[in-house]
Amino acid sequence: MSALYGTYARSNLAFERGEGVRLYAQDGTEYLDFHAGVAVNALGHGDPHMVAALKAAADRVWHTANTFTIPEQERLGQRLVEHTFADACFFTNSGTEAVECAVKTARHYFWAKGQVDRYEIIAFTGSFHGRTMGMIAASGNEHYLEGFGPPLAGFVHLDPNDLAAVEQAITPNTAAILVEPVQGEGGCTEMTGDFMRGLRALCDKHGMLLILDEVQCGYGRTGKFFAHEWTGIEPDIMAVAKGIGAGFPLGACLAKGEVAKSMVPGTHGSTYGGNPLACAIGNAVLDRMLAPGFFEQVDHVGQRLKWHLQQLAQRFPHQVLELRGRGLLAGIRIAAPVKEVVARLRDEQHMLAMTANENVLRLLPPLVVTEADIEEAMAKLAAVFEQIEAEKATA
């Protein structure tokens, strides 16, 4: 009997060691990791630069509260500002807190301008923004809201990629639009470029703020630093996490200066957020990701993954129903129950993959994955699909 909450349907599998895209279980069995701790292990396991950075940081000050200057945090913020639309950052410990900060920043921006009723946020069905009371309301998923009392008010949910519906839903109280450019957990649905540009135009027209949740699709996963870079638009606020610490708990809310300026002393805070240890790791991640050619390589390998998935879809037209996502956030809507396929991949093929809603199999390999790794993964997927078809034929 475990001493832990029963909130996860855990497998008994425990890992001891990792190297690149490989994980090794306690009994030594090797697993191909196309799960990456839910898109967190962006640089794979045991990256020597990351290990050295953590060891060096352990010899310095681990933690000082944000009442003092934290040089590693200043540096990480400066680098993020230099490489994005943003002018200012707030560091958190998680993705949920990063989106929470984004929502607070948007609401406070209008409050400070005297528009106190302007707090409504348009969000989308199939989205996932985290698990705090605020973020289950932002996500709007009934399963996550049920049983937890009245949800936080002020969120409206619409279908993704329906710009006319968004335009109709805007009221004088609408403060912002909150969207994942590529949904993760919801089923890997990508927002179209036209939809994203349309949202930006509506925000400009109505003086609203565009908030992007790039917690999963950002930090290189789609083949650019941030997924919105594919669409040519910029947000006003953006939440990031997952890959930002490559396994160390860290997140950030990035904003334009004009938008962030009402967040004065006392308006928000975090004890751990952006502590020296976390930011040393965040800087080491950027050393690797901002090196010339890193994102180009992710883009290249992401396109190879797509090509291989198209081959798989042609070979198994009754198993692969639809390909979704972008880059190394790939979704395969399949015919067989996705939980069963994930279990077979794990137990029979020793490959780790994820589920997403709408019966989508989600592939999230570390960004350092090679085409050879992808070919190996495709062979494992094919073996599972073949087995399912053979069982169907004899049934």
- Binding-site ranges for ligand PLP (CB under 6 A): 94-96, 99, 128-130, 180, 184-185, 213, 215-216, 241
Fill in the amino acid letter for 92.
T
Q: Toward ligand PLP, which CB reaches closer, 215 or 320?
A: 215
The whole-angstrom separation of Cα 83 and Cα 226 is: 10
Q: Toward ligand PLP, which CB reaches closer, 240 or 336?
A: 240
Write down the least CB distance from residue 384 to ligand PLP, Å.
Answer: 25
The whole-angstrom separation of Cα 181 and Cα 332 is: 18
Tokens of 122: 């348009």
Nearest residue to the partner ligand PLP, using Cβ = 95
Write down the least CB distance from residue 47 to ligand PLP, Å.
Answer: 20
The whole-angstrom separation of Cα 19 and Cα 2 is: 29
- Give helix 371-394 / helix 338-349 axis angle, nearest 10°: 110
DSSP strand pairing (30-33 vs 22-25) = antiparallel
What does the angle CA 34 – CA 39 – CA 42 come to, to the nearest 5 degrees?
90
Q: Toward ligand PLP, which CB reaches closer, 180 or 236?
A: 180
The whole-angstrom separation of Cα 304 and Cα 290 is: 22
Contact 248/71 with Cβ under 8 angstroms? Answer: no
DSSP strand pairing (320-326 vs 329-334) = antiparallel
Write down the least CB distance from residue 273 to ligand PLP, Å.
Answer: 12
Fill in the amino acid letter for 328.
L
Q: Toward ligand PLP, which CB reaches closer, 184 or 327?
A: 184
Q: Toward ligand PLP, which CB reaches closer, 326 or 344?
A: 326
Q: Toward ligand PLP, which CB reaches closer, 95 or 366?
A: 95
Write down the least CB distance from residue 221 to ligand PLP, Å.
Answer: 10
Tokens of 199: 């949202």
Write down the least CB distance from residue 130 to ligand PLP, Å.
Answer: 4
Write down the least CB distance from residue 184 to ligand PLP, Å.
Answer: 4
Q: Toward ligand PLP, which CB reaches closer, 47 or 185?
A: 185
For residue 82, the SS3 value is: helix
Tokens of 132: 């705090």
Write down the least CB distance from residue 96 to ligand PLP, Å.
Answer: 3
Read off φ and ψ for residue 321, nearest 5 degrees. -95, -30
Write down the least CB distance from residue 329 to ligand PLP, Å.
Answer: 10
In sign, the C-alpha dihedral spanning 323, 177, 299, 337 is negative
Q: Toward ligand PLP, which CB reaches closer, 47 or 213?
A: 213
